[in-house]
């Protein structure tokens, strides 16, 4: 009996400590440096009723870029790894790819050659692998791939190469009444199968690039077919367009990591009322990757200058984050 009581008492202490700790520190993976202080100060002022900075809950919109902001985008964006794997998987059905670039190089094992055509080559491979099936079939292809594919450096699923400090931030904002959205250049249908599980962000709060789809009846059953045509590119000056089309409100907080996010941050910062913008700066070659101004796929160049000029937060992953990735799953 005494043991039971002691155990209960201990459990109570542990519970209280954890609760207190959590109440004191919603962002435990962030070092106690300027970015964390700025985030907490901002959230406290906009959620304080009666404050001149108060933002009503319905207007608390926070938008997050995905690649490089919520999860790792190096050595290549995850959707590009997916695309390359799909080209290989579909090659038997496409004998013409053996002699057609960029497919031919890739199938010979020459990744550099396949990517030499730049954005055009990437778009061609994406279009070829992201169309010709129903949205339901594509969802299953993505779900199956993401369940097994591994990051080449970290040797863990891509969905575990997400940034622990950002997971805490997303949860912290939601706990403070924010509706959290992804606004990514990545494919909307590539993200939706897993964002709810990984980030707690449901499909209807994912904004991304998309291909055209077509409604048709197949033996009396309606399907949406993915067509080989671009519908919308949710990148750069497309991000405010996507935000307006999908959300219809201007964000109160916006988070990015590259020039692809600059217009989203500008669009956020320039609206009336309290606004907050943040760039994640990849400067941790040891724990992740270091890249910025000159990066081929994810330049932080104009955005860096504007962040400095406007006083936006720039997070040093090296100095401001205690940990990068979540603990390994058993």
Please report the sign of the dihedral spanned by the C-alpha atoms of residue 153, residue 156, residue 161, residue 164: negative
Instruction: Name the segment binding its own copies (CB under 8 A); options: 3-11, 83-91, 160-168, 242-250.
Output: 242-250
Check binding of 177 to its own copies (CB under 8 A). Answer: no
Task: Identify which of residues 74 and 226 has a Cβ nearer to its own copies in the complex.
Answer: 226
Which element (helix H / strand E) includes 225?
Answer: strand 221-232
Check binding of 32 to its own copies (CB under 8 A). Answer: no
Check binding of 179 to its own copies (CB under 8 A). Answer: yes
State how beta strands 253-256 and 221-232 pair: unpaired
Q: What are the C-alpha distances in Å from 295 to residues 70, 73, 75, 123, 291?
A: 18, 12, 11, 19, 6
Name the burial class of residue 313, with classes exposed (0-12), middle (13-18) and buried (19+) by CB atoms within 10 angstroms of its CB. buried
Instruction: Name the segment binding its own copies (CB under 8 A); options: 105-113, 114-122, 154-162, 213-221.
Output: 213-221
Angle (CA) 10-11-14 rounded to 5° is 85
Task: Identify which of residues 126 and 188 has a Cβ nearer to its own copies in the complex.
Answer: 188
Query: Which of 32, 144, 204, 305 forms a contact with its own copies (CB under 8 A)?
Result: 204
- CA atoms in the 13 A half-sphere facing the CB of 82: 28
> 281 forms bridges with which residues in the sheet?
316
Instruction: Name the segment binding its own copies (CB under 8 A); options: 78-86, 97-105, 210-218, 303-311.
Output: 210-218
CA–CA separation, 154 and 161 (whole Å) = 8
Interface with its own copies in residues 60-89 (CB under 8 A): 61
Which element (helix H / strand E) includes 307?
Answer: helix 302-310
Number of residues that bind its own copies (CB under 8 A): 36
Interface with its own copies in residues 183-202 (CB under 8 A): 188-189, 192, 196, 202
Task: Identify which of residues 26 and 208 has a Cβ nearer to its own copies in the complex.
Answer: 208
Check binding of 58 to its own copies (CB under 8 A). Answer: yes
Angle (CA) 205-207-209 rounded to 5° is 155
Interface with its own copies in residues 254-313 (CB under 8 A): 263, 266-267, 270
Check binding of 206 to its own copies (CB under 8 A). Answer: yes
Q: Which residue has the tokens 């104009």?
A: 302
Token pair, residue 171, equals 């949860």
Query: Which of 47, 79, 129, 210 forms a contact with its own copies (CB under 8 A)?
Result: 210
Q: Is 169:39 a contact under the CB 8 Å cutoff?
A: yes
* Per-residue interface string for the shown chain with its own copies, residues 115-154, x marking contact by CB under 8 A: --------------------x-------------------
Residues that bind its own copies (CB under 8 A): 58, 61, 135, 179, 188-189, 192, 196, 202-206, 210, 213-216, 221-222, 224, 231, 237-238, 240-241, 244-249, 263, 266-267, 270
């Amino acid at each position: 009996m005494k043991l039971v009581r002691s155990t209960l008492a201990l459990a109570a202490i542990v519970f209280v400590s954890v609760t207190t700790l959590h109440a004191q520190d919603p962002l435990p993976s962030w070092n106690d440096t300027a970015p964390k202080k700025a985030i907490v100060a901002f959230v406290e002022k906009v959620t304080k009723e009666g404050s001149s900075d108060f933002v009503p809950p319905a207007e608390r919109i926070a938008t997050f870029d995905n690649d490089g902001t919520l999860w790792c985008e190096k050595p290549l964006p995850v959707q590009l790894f997916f695309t390359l794997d799909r080209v290989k998987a579909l090659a038997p059905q496409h004998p013409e790819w053996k002699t057609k670039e960029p497919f031919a190089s890739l199938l010979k094992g020459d990744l550099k050659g396949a990517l030499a055509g730049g954005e055009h080559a990437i778009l061609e491979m994406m279009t070829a692998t992201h169309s010709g099936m129903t949205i339901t079939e594509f969802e299953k292809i993505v779900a199956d791939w993401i369940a097994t594919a591994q990051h080449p450096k970290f040797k863990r699923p891509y969905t575990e190469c997400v940034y622990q400090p950002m997971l805490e931030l997303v949860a912290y904002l939601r706990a403070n009444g924010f509706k959290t959205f992804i606004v990514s250049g990545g494919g909307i249908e590539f993200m939706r199968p897993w964002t709810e599980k990984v980030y707690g962000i449901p499909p209807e709060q994912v904004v991304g690039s998309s291909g055209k789809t077509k409604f048709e009846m197949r033996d009396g059953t309606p399907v949406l077919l993915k067509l080989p045509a671009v519908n919308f590119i949710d990148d750069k000056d497309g991000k405010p367009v996507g935000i307006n089309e999908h959300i219809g409100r201007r964000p109160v907080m916006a988070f990015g990591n590259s020039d692809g996010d600059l217009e989203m941050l500008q669009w956020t910062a320039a609206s009336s009322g309290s606004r907050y913008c943040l760039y994640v700066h990849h400067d941790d070659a040891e724990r992740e990757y270091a890249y910025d101004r000159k990066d081929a796929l994810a330049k932080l160049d104009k955005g860096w200058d504007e962040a400095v000029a406007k006083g936006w937060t720039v997070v040093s992953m090296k100095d401001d984050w205690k940990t990068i990735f979540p603990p390994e799953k058993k």
